[in-house]
Amino acid sequence: MATSNVNSLLLSFLLFGSFFIAAQGNLNEHFDITWGDGRAQILNNGQLLTLSLDKASGSGFESKNEYLFGNIDMQLKLVPGNSAGTVTAYYLKSPGTTWDEIDFEFLGNLSGDPYILHTNVFSQGKGNREQQFYLWFDPTADFHTYSILWNPQRIIFSVDGTPIREFKNSESIGVPFPKNQAMRIHSSLWNADDWATRGGLVKTDWSQAPFTASYRNFKADACVLSNGASSCSSNSNWFSQQLDSASQGRLKWAQNNYMIYNYCTDSNRFPQGLPAECNNS
């Protein structure tokens, strides 16, 4: 009796104390400013983070934790007005030369013209899996929630709870899937006017600088790496979550109405045949 109490106490400590970390709130606790010489700031007692870009430099931050799987939400409000030439990148990435990466990139535009939300997935250093979308709202007028659900079977990108992209584990047909390398969250605001807006035709208007993007309400249900080991039981919803039929309907809605580029339909780009995972969706 005493032993089993101790065991269950230990078990709940292991499951809830150490490994499944539900993080929320104070951005100071979860992120470090990594570059930009004062252009990135955590404000309001850790409730708000801002990145800025001017002609001399952009800025960026990264998470203190490394995550191996998770369900991660962040609210972003993008550079308003004439944001042409600017890119706000928000992504997960592991270090090294055969890295894994899950990307959201927001490509700015002239006032009133639509941002492009660019997504990509790298596994073992190989990407080339771009899908791009317009948004169904003005992403500069208010905060919106951008989420990455990453579990061993799939990666789902969502916007305000609407899934826009699913990248399934296709290891069974020989496609590496990110599942062995822990990743940090990274974000940066930088100048990419050689390609970002209308393929580089529209340049950054530096008279509008500084450009600012804002972040708040970070929330991560995730497995956190510590001392080189991340131990995750499957004892959590997101760990085995998949799209139910309602979510599949919303994914379809987003893709039918807002997707503007899909590498899986770009046969000119892949004369030897589309990537294998394209047949598994």
Ligand X SMILES: *[C@@H]1O[C@H](CO)[C@@H](O)[C@H](O)[C@H]1NC(C)=O
* Both structure tokens of 158: 């969502």
Per CB under 6 A, 197 contacts ligand X: yes
Give yes or no: 29 in active site.
no
Nearer to ligand X, 107 or 155 (CB): 107
**Measured CA distances, 129 to 192, 243, 266 (Å):** 20, 20, 11
**Measured CA distances, 281 to 161, 251, 264, 268 (Å):** 20, 12, 10, 20
Nearer to ligand X, 130 or 171 (CB): 130
The phi, psi pair for 233, rounded to 5°, reads -80, 170
**Whole-number minimum distance, CB 114 to ligand X, in Å?**
5
205: number of Cβ within 10 Å = 16
Cα 129 off chain centre by: 14
Per CB under 6 A, 107 contacts ligand X: yes
* Cis amide leading into 210 (omega within 30): yes
**Whole-number minimum distance, CB 190 to ligand X, in Å?**
14
**Whole-number minimum distance, CB 87 to ligand X, in Å?**
9
Render 90-133 in DSSP notation, one character per residue. Answer: EEEE--STT--EEEEEEE--STTSPPEEEEEEEBTTB----EEE
Distance CA 92, CA 252 (A): 25
Q: With contact defined as beta carbons under 8 Å apart, do 69 and 239 qualify?
A: yes
**Whole-number minimum distance, CB 73 to ligand X, in Å?**
24
* Binding-site size, ligand X (CB under 6 A): 8
Only segment of 181-189, 190-198, 207-215, 221-229 that touches ligand X (CB under 6 A): 190-198
Nearer to ligand X, 60 or 85 (CB): 85
Only segment of 88-96, 154-162, 165-173, 194-202 that touches ligand X (CB under 6 A): 194-202
Nearer to ligand X, 114 or 210 (CB): 114
Distance CA 225, CA 248 (A): 31
Nearer to ligand X, 88 or 109 (CB): 109
Active-site option among 101, 130, 166, 277:
101
Per CB under 6 A, 203 contacts ligand X: no
Contact track, ligand X, 109-138, x by CB under 6 A: x---xx-x----------------------
Give yes or no: 277 in active site.
no
Return the residue of 55, 198, 203, 252 that touches ligand X, per CB under 6 A: 198
**Whole-number minimum distance, CB 224 to ligand X, in Å?**
34
| Dihedral over Cα of 132, 133, 134, 139: its sign | negative
Residues that bind ligand X (CB under 6 A): 107, 109, 113-114, 116, 196-198
Active site residues: 101, 105
